[in-house]
Amino acid sequence: MRIRVLWLGRPGAQGLEALVADYRKRTGRRWPAEDVRLKPVQGGRGEDPRRVLRAEKESILQHATASWKLIALDEHGEELSSPELAAMMRAFEDSGVPGLSFVIGSDLGLDPEIVRIASRTLSLSRLTLPHLLARLLLWEQLFRAADIVSGGGYHRRSIQWKTDGGSSR
C-alpha cells in the first residue's frame, strides 16, 4: 500500500518542512509515501469562495488515483486515537487497497463534494490548526500508525497501562 498526502497551501518554515520530510521518510519504511503540494486557487476568496473550492476540488481530483481510497481531513470528521488510526490503516492494507490519498484543504477547507466522495473523513483535532501544523501532525500520526502496525516501540503503549492492571488510557 502507498500513502500520498495532497495539500493545498504554501510551504512553511524550513525547520517545520524538514520535520514533515523526516516523518514522511519514516512512514515510507512501511508504506511508500509522498507529500504533494497543490497550489491554492488565487483570487475570489472574498467575492466567491465557492468558485475557489470548486477549482481546488478539480485539482485534488486530478491528483487522486481512482483505485486508491480518498481520506478527507475536515473539522467535522471522525476523531481517532493513534491505535484506531493504525487499525484503519492495517484494515486497508489487509484488504488489498493499493493506496490512500489523504487530503488537506486550503484555508477555505475542502469542497463539500470531496468530503462526500471520501472513503473516510477524519479530524486531527477539535482545535483549528494552521495547515502546516495539520500536515506535520498528520505525517507524525501516519508514521506512528506504521510503527504500531509493524510492532515497533515508538508509540510506547506498554508504559501507558494503569498500574492497577486496568485498561490503557
3-state secondary structure 2-26: EEEEEEECCCCCHHHHHHHHHHHHH
- C-beta separation of 72 from 122 below 8 A: yes
pTM across the whole model: 0.89
Q: Taking 70 as the threshold, does the pLDDT of residue 165 lie above it?
A: no
- C-beta separation of 104 from 131 below 8 A: yes
pLDDT band at 39 (very low <50, low <70, confident <90, very high): very high
Q: Taking 60 as the threshold, does the pLDDT of residue 166 lie above it?
A: no
pLDDT of residue 128: 87
Query: Does residue 32 form part of some domain?
Result: yes
Query: Does residue 30 form part of some domain?
Result: yes
Q: How far apart are CA 25 and CA 27, in angstroms?
A: 5
End-to-end CA distance of the chain: 30
* Set of cell numbers at residue 102: 489523504
Q: Taking 60 as the threshold, does the pLDDT of residue 94 lie above it?
A: yes
Q: How far apart are CA 70 and CA 77, in angstroms?
A: 13
pLDDT of residue 147: 96
Radius of gyration of the chain, Cα coordinates, nearest whole angstrom: 17
Q: Is 47 helix (H, G, I), strand (E, B) or coil?
A: coil
The number of CA neighbours under 13 Å toward the Cβ of 72 is 22
pLDDT digits (tens, 9 = 90+) for 95-147: 999 999 999 999 899 999 999 999 999 999 999 888 899 999 999 999 999 99
Beta bridge partner(s), residue 71: 102, 120
- C-beta separation of 73 from 123 below 8 A: yes
Query: Does residue 166 form part of some domain?
Result: no
Query: Does residue 164 form part of some domain?
Result: no
Q: Mean pLDDT of all residues in the chain? A: 91
Q: How far apart are CA 169 and CA 156, in angstroms?
A: 12
Query: Does residue 7 form part of some domain?
Result: yes
Domain containing residue 147: 2-159
Total domains in the fold of the chain: 1
Query: Does residue 89 form part of some domain?
Result: yes
Average pLDDT over residues 146-155: 88
Average pLDDT over residues 64-84: 96
pLDDT of residue 44: 62
Q: Taking 90 as the threshold, does the pLDDT of residue 163 lie above it?
A: no
- C-beta separation of 60 from 114 below 8 A: yes
Query: Does residue 124 form part of some domain?
Result: yes
Task: Say which CATH number the domain at 118 has.
Answer: 3.40.1280.10
Query: Does residue 165 form part of some domain?
Result: no
